[in-house]
Structure 1
Amino acid sequence: MYDSLLGGRDNYPADRAACSALLEKVPSMRELALNNRQFLRRVVHTLAKDFGVRQFIDHGSGLPTQDNVHEIAQRVDDRSRVVYIDNDPIVRNIGGAILERNDRTAVIQADMRHTENIFTHPSVTALIDMKEPVAALFVSVLHCLPDSADPGALIADVASRLPDGSFMVVCQLVSDSPAIRDFVTGFMDEQTQGNWGRVREKSDVAAYCAPLDLVEPGLVEVSRWRPGADDVPPQLTFEWEEYGGVGQVRR
C-alpha cells in the first residue's frame, strides 16, 4: 500500500483497492505517505551529514522503493552501512536481490520485536560496529504493533543496546479523533488479518521517546521536522498524521 501511494510499481490490485477505500475516509493519506518518505530522507541525510552517523538499522523497512536509506546515506559517505529488517519473506527475496551488489547493505527477515535475534544476526554483527554510533529507525511502523507487544518497551530495549551517542528515529500514525482512530485501526486490522496495531495519540509517542534526548525540533508532525525547500506540500487536512522525531541515546 505504501509503495502504491508513493507511485511505485511493487504493489498489487488488492493494495490499490485498499488505498482507494482508505482515501474515501482519510483523504490526506497520499500526502501523508509522501511527507513520511520526505521525513525519512531528511532524517537520514541530517544524521549522516550533520551528526556523522555511518550505520543505520531500518526496522520494518518494507520493499525497496524510491530513495532508500542506503542511497541517502551513501550519497553523504559511500562507506555508510545499512541493515534492513522486515518480517516479510517477499521483502527479503526482492530486497536481497536488489541490494546484492552493494556490500555495505543487508536485508534480513526478522520480526522487529525480536531484538536479541536482530542484534546477534550475522549480517548485523558483520556490518554494524557497536563501538560507533548507530541510528535505529522505526519510521511509520509502530502502529503495526498491538499494545500487547508494548512498542515503548521495544524502543527502550533497542536504545539500551546501542552505543552512547546513537540515535532513535520514531514516528507513527496518530489522530486526535477517536472516530478516525477506530475506523483506520479496524480497517487495517481487517486488511492484514489481525496483523496490525492501532492509530494512537501524540501522548503515546511522547511516552515512547521519553528516555531519549530529543533533537530539535522535538516531536512534531513529520513535515515540520526540519523541512526543506524541495519538500512536497504538507497535508491540507489533519484527520490523522505521522508524528514523531529523533532522539539521541545518552547514558
Structure 2
Amino acid sequence: MLDVTEDQPTPAYKRVLLKISGEALMGDQGYGLHPPTVQRIANEVKSVHDLGVEICMVIGGGNIFRGLSGSAQGMERTTADYMGMLATVMNALAMQSALEEMGVFTRVISAIRMDEVCEPYIRRRAVRHLEKKRVCIFAAGTGNPYFTTDTAGALRANEMACEAIFKGTKVDGIYDKDPVKFDDAVRYDSVTYDECLTKRLKVMDASAIALARDNNLPIIVFSLDEPGGFRGILAGEGTYTRVQG
C-alpha cells in the first residue's frame, strides 16, 4: 500500500478527508463535548499531519443536536436541519482550538456564512489552505437541509481532490451486523460500493456512497478509538475495511 523507510513511513495518500460523527466527541458522556476526547482525536490528526499528509475534516453534530431527531419530535425538518448545521460549527471550533493548541494551523470553513467565527466556503481558497499544510474543517454540512454530514464529507472530498475518505467509527471496519450486539459478526476486509448499498451496510448514507462510487473515491473505515489507528493505516498497518469499486 505504501513504501516504509526505517525512519518514517511515506504515506500513499497525500490528501485525505477524515469524517467523524459528533458523538465521537462525547467520550463517555451522553451529550456535548468531552475536552479530553477532543484532544485525543486532535492528537491523532496531528500525528498524520506530521507525516506531511494534507488533511481536511467533516464532523457531525449529533452530540449537540441532530436534525432528523428534532424533526421526528415534531419540529419542522428544515429548521431542525439548520440547527444541526450550527451544532457542527460548534464541534469544528472545538477541534480547531485543540489542534491549534498543538501547533497545527487550522481553518474552520462553513457552508453557511458566519464571518465573525469562521471562513465562508470558497473552493479555491480551501485548496490553497491545504497546499499550505493547514487542516481544513468543513462545517455546516453542504449548507442545505435534507443532506447529512456523510454526504457533505463525500462532496468536499471530491471538491478538494482527496485521494480517500477516512471514516472514523467505534469499530475496526464494516461488519455484516452489529459486532457490539452479535458475537458472530463478520468483518469485511473490503467491499464494493454496490455491496454497501444493496446489503445496506452501515458505512455512510446512500447519497455519500453513490457520490464516492461515481468518482471512484475509496472509503477507509477504521476505529477512531484505537490509539494511533489513523496514522497506523497510513503506515500500512492496522485493521480496517476498504470500500471501493
Using structure 1 for the length normalisation, give the TM-score: 0.37
Using structure 2 for the length normalisation, give the TM-score: 0.38
Task: Flag the structure with higher strand content.
Answer: 2
